[in-house]
Amino acid sequence: MKQVRIGVLGIGRGRSMIDYTKKANNARLVAICDFWAEGLLNTMEQINDDSITYYEAFDEFIKHDMDAVVLANYANEHAPYAIKALQAGLHVFSEVLPVQNMKEAVELVEEIEKHDLIYAYGENYCYMPATREMKRLYKLGKLGEFEYGEGEYIHNCAPIWADITRGDKNHWRNHQYATFYSTHSIGPLIHITSLRPIKVSGFETKYNERVRRMGKLGAPAGLEIITLENGAILKSVHGDLDKNSIWYSIYGSKGRIESAREDALQKDIERVYLNLDQDENSYDFTPTTYEPKDELHETAHDYGHGGSDFYTIYNFCEKVLGNPEADTIDIYEAFDMFFPGHFAYRSILNGGIPVDIPNFRNKEDREAFREDIFCTDPKVAKDKVWPCYSKGNPIIADEIYEEIEAVWKKNNQ
Ligand SMILES: NC(=O)c1ccc[n+]([C@@H]2O[C@H](COP(=O)([O-])OP(=O)(O)OC[C@H]3O[C@@H](n4cnc5c(N)ncnc54)[C@H](O)[C@@H]3O)[C@@H](O)[C@H]2O)c1
């Protein structure tokens, strides 16, 4: 196999992976699936390529003659589709998040372990120029032992909410709890350090009128304070605060590296500030700043999210093709990125107490969660459904969703 034959589920975010295959040497697009018939038809017209087969039904789509699927469907529904794809003998690239509850986590990891197939978690924020450089220097030992880190993914989605929820009151984005969509802020810190989270305390910001107007039931933003296996601490914050910020900072025993702040207008995740000592007994307070570029920088640069959208799918294809250098995120690491947000909400629902995070590399750690269906999706959690906001679901009038749907329809005329 020289090129991975890929099928993409979901034409929204999935478009990024569809576009990747247009120029890629290591991938070929063969099928696309989306049950939104009108959107699928538009995509077919735009792509205008007779070699691609289009499906509305996932169960038909996975019978297509291909090697791998990209799951860019709803963020809370990846696990059941990943399991079906693995059972059909397909490699899986999963968009964020990996699962929505712990029962799914047990089922997914156990399915992956049955197969000799690649599962890669698409946490693209690990592959931005700044986070890649942080990882490179950390792994070279330049920062010493990891002591403290911060990750921020603040994205005020109000201006695009109509397009990304289509006025659907049951859309996962409207039902997410504050600490659900947590892996853009936590993930890079885990990928840089390869340290496992063991404990978390969670916080949510106060519900406000801006998110009510969006139709969102959860708090605007969530925070996790996480203890890692070596005793280091992480602070992660993410959500719909008013202004955007993608920012990472890590402190080691020999120095600090951080990305530029968005408001500094210094190309944020494309620039780093590095402040290193020669060793742990010398103190040099002079920082240096630069825009890191690796050998794939020029190829990746035009892709979304600071080029990171290129690296995730490129590395997935390389991994499937057997390249031992391919930098992908397996299911255990994906859970190290996801569990802190999930258990942070358990912490929030219990007044902010610290909560232990299991390690699913250990089979015995899975037992307590085999039937644990707690989440905010009523279809899946049934009588175990969590409120989306810890103080109870806010009241949102149906007219709000009707107005949002009207905006979406107008935008897509
Ligand atoms: N990594 C990133 O930077 C990033 C950015 C945006 C979105 N995402 C992720 O991408 C995924 C998709 O997000 P989105 O923004 O496109 O919005 P979305 O979740 O609303 O879109 C999902 C798409 O999949 C289709 N779909 C859902 N279930 C399906 C099924 N069972 N069969 C066929 N089609 C189905 C829907 O019709 C829709 O077009 C989510 O998991 C989200 O978290 C990641």
Q: What is the C-alpha to C-alpha distance for residues 56 and 31, in angstroms, rounded to an integer?
A: 11
Q: What is the C-alpha to C-alpha distance for residues 264 and 261, in angstroms, rounded to an integer?
A: 5
Where are the extended beta strands (E) located within 140-254? 146-154, 197-204, 221-228, 233-239, 245-252
Are 98 and 143 found together in one domain? Answer: no
Are 68 and 162 found together in one domain? Answer: no
Are 151 and 229 found together in one domain? Answer: yes
How far separated are the first and last CA of the chain, in Å rounded? 42
Determine which residue's CA is closest to atom 42 belonging to ligand 1. Answer: 75
Report the run of H or E that residue 15 belongs to, with start and end. Answer: helix 14-23
- CATH code of the domain containing 107: 3.40.50.720
CA 31 vs CA 77, 80, 347, 360: distances in Å: 20, 19, 42, 33
Q: What is the C-alpha to C-alpha distance for residues 361 and 335, in angstroms, rounded to an integer?
A: 10
Determine which residue's CA is closest to atom 23 belonging to ligand 1. Answer: 10
346 belongs to a structural domain: yes
CA of 57 to the centre of ligand 1 (A): 15
Are 261 and 117 found together in one domain? Answer: no
276 belongs to a structural domain: yes
Give the residue numbers spanning the domain of 15.
4-123
Contacts of 267 (CB under 8 A, 6+ apart): 260, 291
321 belongs to a structural domain: no
141 belongs to a structural domain: yes
409 belongs to a structural domain: no
Are 296 and 220 found together in one domain? Answer: yes
CA of 71 to the centre of ligand 1 (A): 8
- CATH code of the domain containing 204: 3.30.360.10
pLDDT at 413: 80
Instruction: Label residue 296 left, alpha or beta by phi (over 0 means left) and psi (-120 to 50 means alpha).
Output: alpha
Are 222 and 138 found together in one domain? Answer: yes
Determine which residue's CA is closest to atom 37 belonging to ligand 1. Answer: 36
Which of ligand 1's atoms lies nearest the C-alpha of 81? 31
AA identity, residue 222? G
Are 145 and 160 found together in one domain? Answer: yes
Which of ligand 1's atoms lies nearest the C-alpha of 77? 28
249 belongs to a structural domain: yes
404 belongs to a structural domain: no
CA of 12 to the centre of ligand 1 (A): 6
CA of 77 to the centre of ligand 1 (A): 9
Q: Which of 74, 92, 123 is the last residue of a domain?
A: 123
Ligand 1, CB cutoff 6 Å, lining residues: 9-13, 33-36, 39, 58, 72-75, 95-96, 122, 124, 164, 305
For residue 343, count CB atoms less than 10 angstroms from its CB and return exposed for 0-12, middle for 13-18, buried for 19 or more.
Answer: buried
Determine which residue's CA is closest to atom 5 belonging to ligand 1. Answer: 13
pLDDT at 404: 97
Determine which residue's CA is closest to atom 31 belonging to ligand 1. Answer: 58
Please give the distance of CA 249 from its chain centroid, rounded to a whole number: 19
Mutate to test the pocket of ligand 1, among 32, 73, 164 (most ligand atoms within 8 A of CB): 73
Q: Which of 123, 151, 175 is the last residue of a domain?
A: 123
CA of 10 to the centre of ligand 1 (A): 5
Determine which residue's CA is closest to atom 29 belonging to ligand 1. Answer: 73
Q: What is the C-alpha to C-alpha distance for residues 193 and 228, in angstroms, rounded to an integer?
A: 10
Domain count, the chain: 2
Contact (CB, 8 A) for 271 and 186 = no
AA identity, residue 397? A
Mutate to test the pocket of ligand 1, among 8, 32, 74, 123 (most ligand atoms within 8 A of CB): 74
Determine which residue's CA is closest to atom 27 belonging to ligand 1. Answer: 73
Are 133 and 65 found together in one domain? Answer: no
Are 149 and 15 found together in one domain? Answer: no
Extract the residue ranges of the chain whose pLDDT is less than 50. none
pLDDT at 285: 86
Which of ligand 1's atoms lies nearest the C-alpha of 78? 41
399 belongs to a structural domain: no
Partnered with residue 355 across adjacent β-strands are 200
Are 130 and 162 found together in one domain? Answer: yes
Are 158 and 88 found together in one domain? Answer: no
Determine which residue's CA is closest to atom 2 belonging to ligand 1. Answer: 124
Are 374 and 299 found together in one domain? Answer: yes
